[in-house]
Amino acid sequence: MHKKKVVSNSVIGFSFKILMLVIGFVSRKIFIVFLGEEVLGLNSLYSNLLDLLNLADLGIGVAVQYQLYEPLVNKDYEKQSKILSAARKLYNRIGLCVFTAGIVLSFFIQWLIKESTYPISFIRLSFMISVSGVSIGYFFVHKRLFLQSDEELGLVNIIDLLAKIGTTIVSLVLTVIFHNYFLYLIINALYGLIGNLIIHVVFKKKYPNITSKDKSNQLESRYLTANLKNVVPMKLSNYVYNSTDNVIISKILGLVTVARYSNYMTIINGIMGIEYILGNVVTSSIGKIMKEKNNIKEVFDYYLLFQYVHFIFTNFCTVSITILITPFIQIWLGESFLLDVYILVLLIIDFFIHSMYQPAYVLFGAAGKFKDDKFITMISAVLNIIFSLVAVYFIGLSGVILGTIVSDIYIWIVRSYQMVGRFFKQSLHQYFLLMLKYTCLTIGSVAISIALIKLFVTENIYLEFIFRAIISVIIPNIISFFFTFKAKEFLTLKKMVQQKLNTIGDKR
């Protein structure tokens, strides 16, 4: 059952993220043409500041999902209702806190911007509208978490996609007609609310035995908040990694640099978002498996399989980013939006490292190892922010990215030790050799791909992009197959795919 859920939810999740990425590209292009590059930089800064406000979640979402695994396995509807009720009350309070904190932050936002041609009243009001959309979304999020815990991520993604398509079309049409940033923000602020309202209706029909209005939930509330002292550092670290770069760039280098950097990060974060879909699916499935089984070796085999799938995806995406992102930016936005090559190299290294340590990160959440992760994330956050702040003054934008890379290397090594060595009690030597093998195969894939594209020289950017796309599909996947087709993980994955195809054939 778990394998079927992983496969189906992954397919839906990947499709969802790809469509969302396409929607993002179209939106960004229209945004630049009709609202301008500076407003785009402002919008990117807002996104990062809203991530800061979302720290008010304090990791309760992770705790809610972890608490739900056991009652879901045991079909304990009363326990599920109590947990959901406790989560609803906590999130209602969080929504109010986020709104209040956002209003307060809006009066200091000018300190985070080096310079702007827009008046502070415009900046402050537009940020308040953005905050309103985020805070409203908290009031139904507990039911979204329940569906994710019950391995219904595919259903959640379909609902989100429908809501996103609807709000995006309306916001872009209004942007083209009126060239008004406020209208754009108001419509997009409704996205989270609409998606959660639909989930609310679906939840009531799908789970009639479960209610979130149970008042006897004090014990569950204590359980949900018990791990906060351990989860909060993890949330802070995630914020530092994902959301402080634009704030630093805005303050020191300006909004235009934010806009150009965020164009690249839109592509890279979109690809990472696809990875996170697989991670969310696997977290729910492995979380349940851990509650059902006591065989740690069997769970470790799932971990290695997950790591192998991540390597295949990472290898393909690393090559694709390396040889496709420059011509894509030229086609999408124009040559003036390109960043220097050495900055691109740093972004690629950052992507590879961050992608490869995702399996260890996911298993931390599935195993509820929040306490062990506490000091890892605190140190990584300090490394990132200090290195970035110092380096940006000496080498500019590349200093910000180097700070993230230093943090990533630290996390990859230490999290691997925590999960493989301490939790699974397996050989770290063998595991790091495996990671070294995956790294070398990716470097080889990149090198061969770069060498091949130099053989095809044309002034037609579209033909060049098509040729590079073909190379990015063929080379990394051939190398991945050739050097791993005898590996246990490959054989297991092959067997799972064959079983899925046989099941589809039998249904026909």
Q: Could you please report the per-residue DSSP string of 355-397?
A: HHTHHHHHHHHHHT-HHHHHHHHHHHHHHHHHHHHHHHHHHTH
Residue 211 is assigned to a structural domain of this protein: yes
CA 8 to chain centre: 19
Provide the pLDDT for residue 324. 96
Provide the pLDDT for residue 85. 84
Q: What is the pLDDT of residues 90-132, one digit of tens each?
A: 888 888 888 998 999 999 998 989 888 899 999 999 999 999 8
Between the ranges 129-138, 354-363, 428-437, where is the mean pLDDT highest? 428-437
Q: How confident is the model at residue 215 (pLDDT cuts 50, 70, 90)?
A: low
Q: Which of 177, 212, 229 is where one domain is finished?
A: 229
Q: What is the pLDDT of residues 291-343, one digit of tens each?
A: 666 677 778 888 898 899 889 999 999 999 999 999 999 999 999 899 999 99
- Report the share of the chain in percent with pLDDT over 70: 82
Q: What are phi and psi of 245, to 5 degrees?
A: -55, -50
Q: Measure the CA–CA gap between 42 and 315, rounded to whole angstroms.
A: 33
Residue 201 is assigned to a structural domain of this protein: yes
Q: Token pair for residue 78? A: 């009363």
Contact criterion met (CB below 8 Å) for 453 and 323: yes
Residue 503 is assigned to a structural domain of this protein: no
For the four alpha carbons of 386, 390, 391 and 392, in that order, the dihedral sign comes to: positive
Q: Measure the CA–CA gap between 359 and 305, rounded to whole angstroms.
A: 10
Contact criterion met (CB below 8 Å) for 253 and 397: yes
- Identity at 225, one-letter amino acid code: T
| Neighbouring residues of 160: CB distance < 8 A, sequence distance ≥ 6 | 16, 195
Provide the pLDDT for residue 1. 46
Provide the pLDDT for residue 456. 82
Q: Measure the CA–CA gap between 410 and 328, rounded to whole angstroms.
A: 32
Residue 161 is assigned to a structural domain of this protein: yes
Mean pLDDT, range 285-295, rounded to an integer: 65
Number of domains composing the chain: 2
Mean pLDDT, range 416-421, rounded to an integer: 86
Do 306 and 160 fall into the same domain?
A: no
Do 361 and 219 fall into the same domain?
A: no
Do 318 and 171 fall into the same domain?
A: no
Provide the pLDDT for residue 61. 75
Mean pLDDT, range 168-182, rounded to an integer: 90
Provide the pLDDT for residue 429. 92
- Torsion angle of the four alpha carbons 503, 480, 465, 246, in this order, in degrees rounded to the nearest 10: 100
Please say if the pLDDT value at position 219 is more than 70: no
Instruction: Please indicate whether residue 410 or residue 218 has the higher confidence score (pLDDT).
Output: 410
Mean pLDDT, range 482-504, rounded to an integer: 82
Q: Is 432 helix (H, G, I), strand (E, B) or coil?
A: helix
Provide the pLDDT for residue 115. 81
Do 348 and 464 fall into the same domain?
A: yes
Residue 287 is assigned to a structural domain of this protein: no
| Neighbouring residues of 43: CB distance < 8 A, sequence distance ≥ 6 | 31
Q: What is the pLDDT of residues 70-100, one digit of tens each?
A: 888 788 888 888 888 888 888 888 888 889 9
Q: Token pair for residue 35? A: 């609202």
Please say if the pLDDT value at position 464 is more than 90: yes
Domain that holds residue 79: 1-229
Do 225 and 313 fall into the same domain?
A: no
Q: What are phi and psi of 254, to 5 degrees?
A: 105, 165
